[in-house]
Amino acid sequence: MAYQEETQLEKITGTLQNVIFASSDSYFKILSIQIEDSTLENWQEPEIIATGTFADVQEGSMYAFYGTVVRHPKYGQQLKVVRYENELPPDEAGLIKYFVSGQFSGIGQKTAEKIVDHLGLNAVNLILDDVHVLDGIIKEATSKKLVHSLQLNLGLERLFQVGNRFGIGADIAGKLYDQYGSEAQDILTQDPYRLVFEFEGIAFKTADLIGQKVGIDREDDRRLQAAVYATIMTISFQYGHTYLTRQQLLQSSIQLLHDEAVRQDLDQAITKLLTTHVLVADGDKLYAATLYEAETQVADDLKRLLHANQPFDMSSEDIDVAFMTPGQLVLDSTQIAAVKAGLKAQVFLLTGGPGTGKTTIVQSIVATWKKVLQAQAKYSDNAQDFLKMYSVKMASPTGRAAKRMTEVTGYDATTIHRLLGIADLGEPEFTSDNPISGGLLIIDEASMLDIELTAKLLAAVPNGMKLIIVGDSDQLPSVGPGNVLADLVGSEKIAHVELDTIYRQGRGSSITTLAQHIKNGQLPADFRQNQRDRSTFMVSHDQTDLAIKQVLQAAIKKGYTQDDLQILTPIYKTTAGVNALNAMAQALFNPIKPAQKSLQFGTTVFRKGDKILQLENDSERDVYNGDMGKIIAVQYKNDKSNDDHEDRIVVDFDGKELSYPKKNLNQLALAYATTVHKAQGNEFKLVIVALTTRFGLMLNRNLLYTGITRAKEALILVGEYEAFNRAAQTAVPFRATFLKNRLADDSVNLRKSSDDKKVEQSVSKRTLTFEMTNSDIIAPLIGLNGITPYDFMPN
Ligand SMILES: Nc1ncnc2c1ncn2[C@@H]1O[C@H](COP(=O)(O)OP(=O)(O)OP(=O)(O)O)[C@@H](O)[C@H]1O
């Protein structure tokens, strides 16, 4: 299947004299070329300027450039390059010279001669096709380096050329090359639909355009299967469903192709995907295999943990004796029941709104657990080992939530990614075969758990390890597919206590009352009346940004910092969206100073002092989607202090300094304003929530509830009353998931764990004596005093 050759392109062969400009966030370059030979007719000059997308081209090397001559208004005529090739030397002497030119480290005259002797004039292509042609000719380490450099110089070049023809940008071509190496070009031109299944970054529409260009049939099975797969993945991730019915999948796939005529063929494509286990059918439910595995695995693992032998059979009496209460608090009967149930059950769910005492109960459970352990340890041969074996682990889906957990409880908490040792895109280090260790695992912010992360988490929990899942089921469900927390609660198979009495007093208490109303689907009658810790500014959509500006100006005057304050809004676009509000808040919190360094990415300009949001998980550097930091330096590539030699910014994430070269700035955004989704797991002293009816389908109860409960001390609501009211009355969209039913099904698929021996080793039950004091429990940190929204309202 050949793709169309471009016709009528000029060809210029010449030596690259000099790279005049190289973009740091793309492969765009401007080159000056000394012409050796060309198809140009009226060109008298010895040189020409060439612009386009180039890999790591070498000054002094020969290339053939194909393109069209265009007139630049300022610089005159230049070649706009469509593709280019590294012009390899035509004889052996030239080829040897090429190898020793300094582009390939470790290759001297002798090695170069050996290579050319053995492989001849076609050496470069042979090496690129199969690294092993160099086996026995040169040292393995040298050959590795050589292949790497050749691939960088030539392989990527070839892919750029091909990608160019299909509208594939250099970044995606680079990623394709990283994933498929020298095969990338063949895959792109012969089987582009394969990329829909395997490669992140090429959507079905792009693959389909390539498919059409290379002449793949409309009814081709590969095309139809890719369409079905793209449909189920897109819908699952957009709406949070874990499955679709066959009819829904078929209908949506037809819509994607805009082609009713292929209905029959699409139906067959579904059947084939089922046969090859890309899709899985469970009754009339069709799943992407990964989601099916995740959902069934979560159910199986929960049943396994529920049925596993308990290391301690703590009696009610033991618990009563050991019971620890944080500080001087008197727990209510539901709270006491929660502590007891949490200690008795193998898996326990603790839910409740803000200020109902979830953290208090976790503290009480952990302290009591530790007290029991300490007493038991005395009877063990090795008390240290014993305590370690039953240690407490705490984790949360986001870095900020983990940090807050540590601050509030005094115990070390981490992200779930870190707990499981998940490196980017990689498999977890801790799995069913290599489970995590410890006696008690507490997971906070469980509303954010999607089905895939939950599956990975539960797989790594060994039999006998106690699991406590804490969350607020009225918050937004996870970004990824699944409705885990709600399904666990709904299954009624797991011990569960819902805390419903609000204890938070003073600042933030009217916010928790408001949250309670919203949870019940109503705004309170006093919604528009300003409270000590809450105010409303009801304005039209078009006035929303100005109203927020006034609030910000007053807040800054009152001494609020950008860390204290967070603007939340549902979407990115419109004048009341994240992008516009960020630009406005940046100008207020961090106004531009004369001659200040800055780096621009897209429409965002980053400056020292800016509040920053991390948009991707980067486990290697321990920074996660949703983490917030501050830019502490903007450095240009020639700055002395910049050892990256690329323009970069340095961000401080709570004491951890990370560098971002310009090409990685897509991982960051300004964070003065964020979506409510991105703020999940975070809390701020003062939160401004903007809602207007323009946000249409985004308006729902869980979104509003999640937004306002991010506020610890004060809340300002800006926008249209109708939007707030509609949000309060609108239930969160339905998610099609089957976890609840799987849990309700009593058939058990138990996995034996090597950790069962832990149970055998557990000490026998005896009456305990305790030596821990209440000072082992760290009181929750209470927020700062002396601030109300009135303080910064315009007079
Ligand atoms: N039984 C109680 N009597 C008095 N105060 C209580 C009681 N239970 C909890 N509190 C207090 O109420 C406040 C909120 O409790 P806690 O932080 O445990 O709630 P939470 O559910 O974790 O809240 P959030 O989800 O907002 O963090 C704390 O100051 C806590 O000390």
Ligand 1 centroid, distance to 781 Cα (angstroms):
11
Ligand 1 centroid, distance to 362 Cα (angstroms):
11
Closest protein CA for atom 6 of ligand 1: 503
Q: What was the pLDDT predicted at 159?
A: 82
pLDDT of 767 over the 80 cut: no
d(CA 651, CA 303): 43
Q: What was the pLDDT predicted at 563?
A: 95
Closest protein CA for atom 24 of ligand 1: 354
DSSP code string of 521-547: T---TTTTS--SSEEEEE--HHHHHHH
Closest protein CA for atom 2 of ligand 1: 331
Q: What was the pLDDT predicted at 381?
A: 84
More confident residue, 211 or 2: 211
> Given pLDDT bands bounded at 50, 70 and 90, which one contains residue 313?
low
> Given pLDDT bands bounded at 50, 70 and 90, which one contains residue 763?
very low
Query: Is 120 labelled a binding residue?
Result: no
* Mean local confidence (pLDDT), 411-431: 87
* Mean local confidence (pLDDT), 468-484: 95
Query: Which of 359, 403, 505, 781 is the best mutation target for the ligand 1 pocket, counting ligand atoms within 8 Å of the beta carbon and taking the most?
Result: 359
pLDDT of 760 over the 50 cut: no
Q: What was the pLDDT predicted at 723?
A: 97
* Mean local confidence (pLDDT), 259-272: 96
Please, where are the H alpha helices in 520-674?
Answer: 541-557, 578-589
Give the ipTM of the model, two decimals please: 0.98
More confident residue, 755 or 115: 115
Which residues 6+ apart lie within 8 Å of 358 measured at CB? 350, 351, 352, 470, 472, 499
Q: What was the pLDDT predicted at 377?
A: 84
Measured from CB, residues less than 6 Å from any atom of ligand 1 are: 329-332, 335, 352, 354-360, 503-504, 780
Q: What was the pLDDT predicted at 620?
A: 80
pLDDT tens track for 487-537: 999 999 999 999 999 887 777 789 999 999 999 999 999 999 999 999 999
pLDDT of 74 over the 80 cut: no
Asked which of 114-118, 638-642, 757-761 is least confident by mean pLDDT, the reply is 757-761
> Given pLDDT bands bounded at 50, 70 and 90, which one contains residue 7?
low
Q: Which long-range contacts (CB under 8 A, 24 or more apart) does 614-621 make?
A: 614/653, 614/667, 614/668, 615/666, 615/667, 615/668, 615/669, 616/667, 617/417, 617/424, 618/424, 618/667, 619/417, 619/418, 619/422, 619/423, 619/424, 620/423, 620/424, 621/656, 621/658
Q: Could you identify the atom of ligand 1 that is nearest to the CA of residue 512?
A: 26
> Given pLDDT bands bounded at 50, 70 and 90, which one contains residue 424?
low
* Mean local confidence (pLDDT), 323-329: 88
Asked which of 107-121, 342-356, 544-558, 748-762 is least confident by mean pLDDT, the reply is 748-762
* Mean local confidence (pLDDT), 650-654: 94
Closest Cα partner for 454 from 416, 503, 495? 416
Q: Could you identify the atom of ligand 1 that is nearest to the CA of residue 335?
A: 1
More confident residue, 314 or 788: 314
Ligand 1 centroid, distance to 349 Cα (angstroms):
17
Ligand 1 centroid, distance to 565 Cα (angstroms):
22
More confident residue, 56 or 122: 122
Reported residue count of the chain is 795
Distances (CA, A) of 156 to 6, 11, 182, 463: 20, 20, 8, 49
Contact of 192 with 214, CB cutoff 8 Å: yes
* Mean local confidence (pLDDT), 696-700: 91
Q: What was the pLDDT predicted at 582?
A: 97
Query: Is 709 labelled a binding residue?
Result: no
Ligand 1 centroid, distance to 515 Cα (angstroms):
15
Q: What was the pLDDT predicted at 795?
A: 32
pLDDT of 472 over the 50 cut: yes
Ligand 1 centroid, distance to 360 Cα (angstroms):
6
Q: Could you identify the atom of ligand 1 that is nearest to the CA of residue 332?
A: 1
- What is the overall mean pLDDT for the chain? 87
Distances (CA, A) of 72 to 33, 79, 80, 434, 587: 17, 10, 10, 61, 35
pLDDT of 26 over the 90 cut: no
Q: What was the pLDDT predicted at 747?
A: 67
Please, where are the H alpha helices in 345-425?
Answer: 358-377, 383-389, 399-409, 416-420
More confident residue, 794 or 163: 163
